[in-house]
Chain A
Amino acid sequence: MISRPIVAGPLAGLLLGDPVAGMWAGAILEILSLRQLPIGANRGWDTGPAAVAAVAAALRWTAGPIALLVGVGFGVVVGWVGSWSVHWMRQFNSRLVAVEGQPLDTPSRLTVRHLSAVFVDLFRATALTAAAVACITLLATALADAAAGLANVVAGLLLLAFASLALGVDLRMMARGRRVWTAAGVGAVLGVILAIWLR
């Protein structure tokens, strides 16, 4: 479960020096990827590398919402590329478990093939994460000053807009009906009261 963005994000942030920014990037990526249910052969974004890349990108930039927006946007792209790498790995695994003339009929052969696939996955995710972090390092060096005071506000609003839209979609995908509306409304009222109180 450390591959979920809400865990991988703050942990990557901790390694890079800012776990709170990591938590924000991870939580927003989590909201964006909640509706991707790994049912059957369905493959969603590869959320672990996406979260690490998002945090690495966010912390390469200046602080604030603009960094978060850039980070999460980059994370989405990495997650999407990651989902294709998962597809290729699954094709590789199809060949690995069905080598002609070598049926999986001994414990050692089955164990070796299965664990090989596990290590291939580990290598794939590590390579993807490393490539993403290298890529953002190059980008950050070339385009260092992308922030301004006003841009930060707009970036925050954009991020909020996308996350709110996505949360609505998440809820619709998972549950629907009048009960759900009412419960979400009650939650929203509670949230508003808490927000006013916290302010």
Chain B
Amino acid sequence: MAALGRTVRLRLLLRSLLVQGSWNYRTMQGAGLGFALIPALTRLYRDDPEALGEALRSHSGFFNAHPYLSTVALAALARMESERTGAEQVERFKRAIVSPLGSLGDRLVWARWRPLCALLAFLIFLLGAPWWVAVGVFLTSYNAIHIGLRIWGLRLGWREGREVGHALMGSPLRRLPDRLTIPLAVVSGAVVPLMALTLGGAVDVGPLSTIGIALALAVAGYGRPGLANRLAVLGLVVGSLAFVLLGSSLW
């Protein structure tokens, strides 16, 4: 097995940041995956341009996974190429790895970590921290997991190669989304009253009543998400348009 040096692995990692750059309806992240693999493939096939062309064409075909965990597939594919695994097996591996990477990344990052970091940053701001501290908290906490996942994926993929699917199944990351559920709910609950204190603070009925109304609406949103979603977005646009078009004559 031809080893890939530290520089090549670093280039794989950096290029993985652009894996979604040419996202399209035909191959989704396919061209991005091929682009990210170029340093590894040119190293492995430096004496065989025909095999290099074949590998690039194959890896630029259909592929789609969570972008942060795409490094798992990238490194595993690089390892498989270094072992001269057959094209059919590589294709089968790509098809099989797409769903687990997508499902794990979507649940962990989009549905838990990103909202948690964003709401935590907003909560810190609502508690009186300067805006730049809140932004700093968001960027630091979010990217700790973001960059950490990419590096972890690269190592795991290279170490396990085609067996990386089994390694993912036994990974502690699978339980992490459930563990983040409670902190996310607590922070969501805490944001509403503090937001009400500022936005509704000037109302005659008093801040506690405003907080009560806000909490009731949050509960309504939780209970009837479809209707509330449409109400929140449409109401916001129509409300702001009414202010723009009619202005103070409304009141």
Assess A113 versus B31: contact at CB under 8 Å? Given A6-B118, A73-B240, A172-B222.
yes
- Using known A-B contacts A37-B111, A164-B196, A169-B228, determine if residue A32 contacts B233 with beta carbons closer than 8 Å: yes
Please, which residues of chain A bring their CB within 8 A of the CB of B176? none
**B187 contacts partner chain A, Cβ-Cβ < 8 Å:** yes
Inter-subunit contact A69/B240 (CB<8 Å): yes
Which of B28, B190, B203, B236 counts the most chain A CB atoms within 10 A? B236
B237 near A103 with CB under 8 A, answer no
Q: In the complex, are the beta carbons of B22 and A162 less than 8 A apart? A: no
Q: Which partner residue on chain B sits nearest A45 by CB separation? A: B233
Our pick among B188, B195, B210, B213 for the contact of A170 (Cβ within 8 Å) is B188
Identify which of A37, A93, A98 contacts B110 (C-beta below 8 A).
A37
Which residue in chain B gives the minimum CB-CB distance to A119?
A: B21
The answer to whether residues A105 and B142 also contact, given A76-B236, A96-B24, A184-B189 and a CB cut-off of 8 A, is no
Would A6 and B202 be within 8 Å (CB), given that A93-B23, A146-B244, A195-B196 are in contact? no
CB pair A168 B225 closer than 8 Å: yes
- Interface centre among A1, A153, A168, by most B CB within 10 Å? A168
A192 to chain B, nearest CB (A): 5
B10 within 8 Å of A (CB atoms): no
Chain A residues in 8 Å Cβ range of B115: 34, 170, 174
Given contacts A146-B243, A173-B225, contact A157 B200 (CB under 8 A): yes
A-B contact count (CB 8 A): 344
Most A C-beta atoms less than 10 A away, residue of B54, B121, B146, B223 = B121
**Residues of chain A lying within 8 A (CB to CB) of residue B114:** 4, 34
**In this complex, which of B191, B207, B231 has the most chain A Cβ atoms within 10 angstroms of its Cβ?**
B191
Query: CB-nearest residue of chain A relative to B41?
Result: A107
A70 contact set on B, CB distance < 8 A: 240, 243-244
Check A6/B191 contact, CB under 8 A, given A152-B202, A195-B196: no
A81 CB within 8 Å of chain B = no
Query: Nearest residue in B to A163 (C-beta to C-beta)?
Result: B195
A32 to B193, CA, bound (A): 17
Against B, the Cβ 8 Å flags (1 = close, 0 = not) of A164-188 are 1111111111110001110111111
Q: A138: CB under 8 A from chain B?
A: no
Known: A96-B24, A169-B222, A194-B193. A27 touches B122 (CB 8 A): yes
Known: A107-B56, A146-B244. A7 touches B196 (CB 8 A): no
Total contacting residues, chain A, CB less than 8 A: 103
Which of A41, A106, A185, A198 is in CB contact (< 8 Å) with B56?
A: A106
Measured in the bound complex, the distance between the Cα atoms of B192 and A30 in whole Å is 14
Check if B6 is an interface residue, CB within 8 A of chain A: no
- Are the CB atoms of A34 and B23 closer together than 8 Å? no
Q: How far is the CA of A90 from the CA of B25 in the complex (A)?
A: 6
In the complex, per-residue mask of B104-116: 1 if CB is within 8 Å of any chain A CB, else 0: 0010001110110
Interface string of B171-213 (1 = CB under 8 A from A): 0000000000111111111111111110111110001101101
Given contacts A107-B56, A110-B56, 14 further A-B contacts (CB under 8 A): A66-B243, A72-B240, A76-B233, A107-B38, A148-B247, A163-B195, A164-B213, A168-B225, A171-B184, A171-B188, A175-B185, A194-B190, A195-B193, A195-B197
What are 25 A-B contacts with C-beta separation under 8 Å? A6-B138, A31-B119, A34-B114, A73-B237, A76-B236, A90-B23, A105-B57, A107-B41, A110-B38, A115-B21, A117-B31, A157-B210, A164-B195, A164-B218, A167-B221, A168-B217, A168-B220, A169-B221, A169-B229, A169-B232, A174-B181, A183-B185, A184-B186, A187-B187, A192-B208
